[in-house]
Amino acid sequence: MNKEEMIIKKDSFVEYLNIIALKGNSEVKQVIFNIDAKEKSISTLAPSPTAIIVSNSIFLLDKKSTVKTDEILGIEDFSLFRKIINSFKGDYIILKKNNNYLNISSVLDNYEVNLILADPDFITKTAYNGFDVNKFKEKAKELENEFSLSVTEKNNFLTAISSLGSDDIVLEGSTEKLNILSNKKENNIIAYLKYSNPPKESFKVRLSTIIVQLLSTIKTDIKCYAKTDNLFGLEVNVENYSVMFMIAPIIENVTEGE
């Protein structure tokens, strides 16, 4: 076994990559993977090109991984990387850094791929616009007023939103229920949900329907953080990975009378 192998459970990694990739105008094109040898983990900061949403996440490597050196890997074409990972049939993927290449293989497959790595500094300056994990952590401190949605509640939420037919929605939460309103007819409540774990404070926030895309991709229970006119947080925690999203609110016309 190579001394610097990162062993990854394929199904969980594909699920993780799909969640942070997003779609459409917000699709993440480039990412930086930070490999922590001691923690045996991959952390990823992934701002969307539209700057509407940014995620910070951690994926746990398999315990059999033998990586001993912290690494920073720049992935220039994230879509291509995901396709390569998906192409392998084995249950586990093996990643090995070799100079400016990332070698990708699987025990069960009779081929391997060498992907040219990009300069992480270049990605930080261009795709990330200088946005780094420290800025993310500072912003994350602003997230308050937690509530959660079970898988069933999340699916009911998606069903309610599917009839809106608009580019953005208004969420109006109280300690009892979550109202979902149309951006065109703000006083017309489209639907409401009762939470199993409600927030402590009421809130009102207008969001892009990118939240629909996120919730459609995530298959587990989620935590949300919402305060009026503040960043909307969405957190996923499962066995092999955790992801925190911050979504910028749409401030215009969010208050009554505007």
Q: Considering its fold, how many domains does the chain have in total?
A: 2
Q: Which of 106, 140, 174 is the last residue of a domain?
A: 140
Q: What is the pTM of this model?
A: 0.88
Q: Are residues 67 and 82 in the same domain?
A: yes
Long-range contacts of residues 123-129, Cβ cutoff 8 Å, at least 24 apart? 123/30, 123/31, 123/32, 123/74, 123/76, 124/32, 126/30, 127/29, 127/30, 127/47, 127/49, 128/32, 128/45, 128/47, 129/47, 129/51
Phi-psi category of 33—alpha, beta or left, where left has phi over 0 and alpha has psi -120 to 50?
beta
Q: Residues 48, 118: one domain?
A: yes
Greatest C-alpha distance within the chain: 66
- CATH number for position 68: 3.10.150.10
192: alpha, beta or left, given left = phi > 0 and alpha = psi -120 to 50?
beta
Task: Give the span between the Cα atoms of 102 and 95, in whole angstroms.
Answer: 7
Q: Which ranges of the chain have pLDDT less than 70?
A: 1-3, 163-166, 183-189, 252-258
pLDDT for 208 equals 85
The confidence score (pLDDT) of residue 92 equals 95
- Within a domain: residue 255? no
Asked if 254 and 229 touch (Cβ cutoff 8 Å), the reply is yes
pLDDT at 180: 86
Q: Indicate if 122 and 197 belong to the same structural domain.
A: no
What pLDDT was estimated at residue 110? 87
pLDDT for the residue 257: 41
Say whether both 201 and 223 belong to one domain.
yes
In this structure, the answer to whether residues 109 and 197 fall within a common structural domain is: no
* 192 in any annotated domain: yes
Q: Is residue 133 domain-shared with residue 56, that is, in the same domain?
A: yes
Pair (33, 130) in one structural domain:
yes
Domain that holds residue 206: 146-247
The answer as to whether 254 is a domain residue is no
| Final residue in a domain of this structure, among 119, 140, 161 | 140
Same domain? 135 vs 209:
no
Looking at residue 31, its pLDDT comes to 95
| Residues 123 and 167 reside in one and the same domain | no
Residue labelled with tokens 């001993």: 68
Looking at 140, 165, 184, the residue that finishes a domain is 140
pLDDT at position 227 is 92
Is residue 253 in a domain? no
| Residues 152 and 123 occupy one common structural domain | no
Confidence at residue 184, expressed as pLDDT on a 0 to 100 scale: 66
